Structure 1
Amino acid sequence: MLTDYHSHLEKGTLTLDYLKQFTDQAAQKNIEHFGISEHAYHFYETKNILSNPWVDERRYYAMDDYTALFHEAWDNGIDVKMAIEMDYTPGKHKEMADFIHSYPFDYVIGSVHWIGDFGIDLSDYLHEWENRNLHDIYRGYFDQVVTLAESNLFDIVGHLDLVKIFKYIPVDEDFLLEQFDRATTALSNSRTCVEISTAGLRKPIGELYPDPRLLQMCYDKKIPIVLSSDAHVPGDVGADYDKAVEFAKLAGYKELMTFNKGERKAVPLG
């Protein structure tokens, strides 16, 4: 079986017709478990969790409209999971928990996109990579992955090593492996799964998330996985899944985790 639990409607509309373009593509790719996980920062209800000028310009949805869309889909016999991708925000655990528990999500993705006021995956902030210490960026990023895992608020951690997106990678391998090790140790002690994401193949880094050494640590520490495309347009649903499946099996994985209204179940990878 295959999953694609990470996708976004933000480049289109919150309409059944647009959502169906995603689910149709998933069906064509033989993806049995598919979900939409819109960015939480787009919703008015999350302003008390994450607020900065870049985010606030892009806050234009109401959760009532989002949940109504899924009910419409289900009423029309469309099998799609309702989820959210939250920017993990240190110091906002209560606010994140209150938001998560207010809606019947099938699962929740937690991702690290911000280190303080630095949007690490945004081209608008690309110049900052030359102005900051690379080790500090990586240490700060994986500090958040650790506390994200420790929070146990999330079912899945998104694109585990997103910090490599623009090819800024420490040359000190010992330092890098130390970050990988402490992140995977925290994840292994949590209920959080890791996604193998094909989105990195469409980014400057040009490779899957996570790094092969990082994925191997995940397998060795018995951290479950899902497959995701992080599709922002329908055509990217299930993109490059042949590479993702091969990558997972090479690390030793034989199962994927699936989610339904917060319940989880392992299924054969295939």
Structure 2
Amino acid sequence: MLTDYHNHLERGTLTLEYLKQFTDQAKQKGIEHFGISEHAYHFYQTKNILSNPWVDERRFYDMDDYVKLFQQAWDANIDVKMSIEMDYTPGKHKEMEQFIKSYDFDYVIGSIHWVEDFGIDLGEFKHEWDRRDLKETYSKYFDQVVTLAESNLFDIVGHLDLVKIFNYIPNDEEFLMEQYERATTALANSKTCVEISTAGLRKYVGQLYPDPRLLNLCYKKGIPIVLSSDAHIPEDVGKDFDQAIALAKSVGYSKLMTFNKGERKEVSLG
């Protein structure tokens, strides 16, 4: 079986017609477990969690409309999971928990896109990589991975090593492995699964998330996985899954985790 749990409607509309383009593509790709996980910062209800000039310009959805869309899909017998991708925000655990519990999500993805005021994956901030200390940025990023895991608020951590997106990667192998070790130890002690995401293949770095060394530690520590494409257009659903499956199997994985209203079940990796 296959999953694709990380997908976005933000480049289109919150309509059944647009959603169906994604679910139809998933069906064509043989993906049995498919979900939409829109960015939480788009919704008015998350202003008390994450707010900065970049985010606030892009806050244009209401959660009521989002929930209604999924209800329409289920009424039409469309099998799609309702999720959210939330920017993990240090110091906002109570607010994040309150938001998550307010909706009947099938699962929740927690991701790190911000290191303090630095949008690490945004083109508008790319120049900052040359102005900041690389190891310090990596340390602060993985600090958040650890506390994200320790919060136990999330079912899946999105693109675990997104910090490499622009190919700014420390040459210090020992330093990198230290970050991977502490991140995976925290994840192993939580309920959080890790996604193998093909999105990195479409980014500047040109690599899957996570790095094979990082995924190998996940496997050794018993951290479950899902597969995700992080599609922002229907055509990218399930894209390059052959590479994701090969990576998963190369480190030893033979099962994927699936979600349904917070319930989880392992299935064989197809």
Amino acid in the other structure paired with 1:234? P
1:185 aligns with 2:185: yes
**Structure 1 position 164 matched with structure 2 position 164:** yes
Q: Does 1:238 align with 2:231?
A: no
- In 2, the alpha carbon distance for the partners of 1:256 and 1:136 equals 33
| Distance in 1, Cα, partners of 2:117 & 2:142 | 16
For the pair 1:116 / 2:106, whether they are aligned, the reply is no
Query: SS at 2:176's partner residue?
Result: helix
1:106 CA drift (Å): 0.1
State the Cα deviation string for residues 109-152 of structure 1 (Å, max 9, x = none). Answer: 00000001100000000010011000000000000000000000
SS class of match (1:26): helix
The one-letter amino acid paired with 2:195 is E
Whole-angstrom distance in 1 between the partners of 2:59 and 2:90: 20
After the TM superposition, which residues 187-206 of structure 1 pair with which residues of structure 2 at under 5 Å, given as runs?
187-206=187-206
- Give secondary structure in 1 for the equivalent of 2:103: coil
Counterparts of 2:207 and 2:132 in 1: how far apart (Å)?
24
Deviation at 1:211, TM superposition (A): 0.2
Tell me how far apart the structure 1 counterparts of residues 56 and 145 of structure 2 sit (CA, whole Å). 24
> What is the aligned partner in structure 2 of residue 47 from structure 1?
47
Measured after TM superposition, the shift of residue 35 of structure 1 is 0.1
Distance 1:228 1:80 in 2: 14
Q: Which amino acid aligns with 1:229?
A: S
Shift of 1:191: 0.3
Equivalence map 1:81-160=2 (5 Å):
81-160=81-160
Letter in 2 for 1:225: I
User: How far apart are residue 18 of structure 1 and its match?
Assistant: 0.1
The one-letter code of the counterpart of 1:183 is A
- Structure 2 distance, partners of 1:134, 1:245, is 31
1:203-256 per-position Cα deviation (integer Å, ceiling 9, x unaligned): 000010000000000000000000000000000000000111111000100000
**1:262 and 1:6 mapped to 2: Cα distance?**
16
* Superposition deviation, residue 70 in structure 1: 0.1
Amino acid at match of 2:42: H
Unaligned runs of 5+ in 2: none
Deviations 1:58-108 (A, max 9, x none): 000000000000000000000000000000000000000000000000000
Distance 2:186 2:84 in 1: 22
1:25-44 alignment, distance < 5 Å: 25-44=25-44
Deviation of residue 258 (structure 1)? 0.1
Which position in structure 2 is the counterpart of 1:4?
4
Poorly superposed stretches of 4+, deviation over 2 Å: none
Please state whether the residue corresponding to 1:264 is helix, strand or coil.
strand
Q: Which runs of 5+ in 1 are unaligned?
A: none
Match of 1:72 in 2: 72
1:104 is paired with a residue whose SS is: coil
CA distance in 1, matches of 2:29, 2:209: 20
Cα distance in 2 for residues equivalent to 1:251 and 1:121: 27
Q: Which residue of 2 aligns with 1:266?
A: 266
Percent identical across equivalent pairs?
77
CA–CA separation in structure 2 for the residues paired with 1:167 and 1:231 = 21
Q: Which residue of 1 is the match for residue 175 of structure 2? A: 175
Corresponding residue number in structure 1 for 2:248: 248
Q: How many residues align?
A: 270
User: d(CA) in 2 for partners of 1:119 and 1:60?
Assistant: 20
SS of 2:138's equivalent in the other structure is helix
- RMSD (Å) for aligned C-alpha atoms: 0.2
- Distance in 2, matches of 1:246 and 1:119, equals 31
- 2:192 is matched by which residue type in structure 1? T
The AA in structure 1 aligned to 2:38 is E
Matching residue's letter, 1:56: D
1:214 alignment counterpart:
214
One-letter code aligned to 2:263? E
**2:121 alignment partner AA:** D
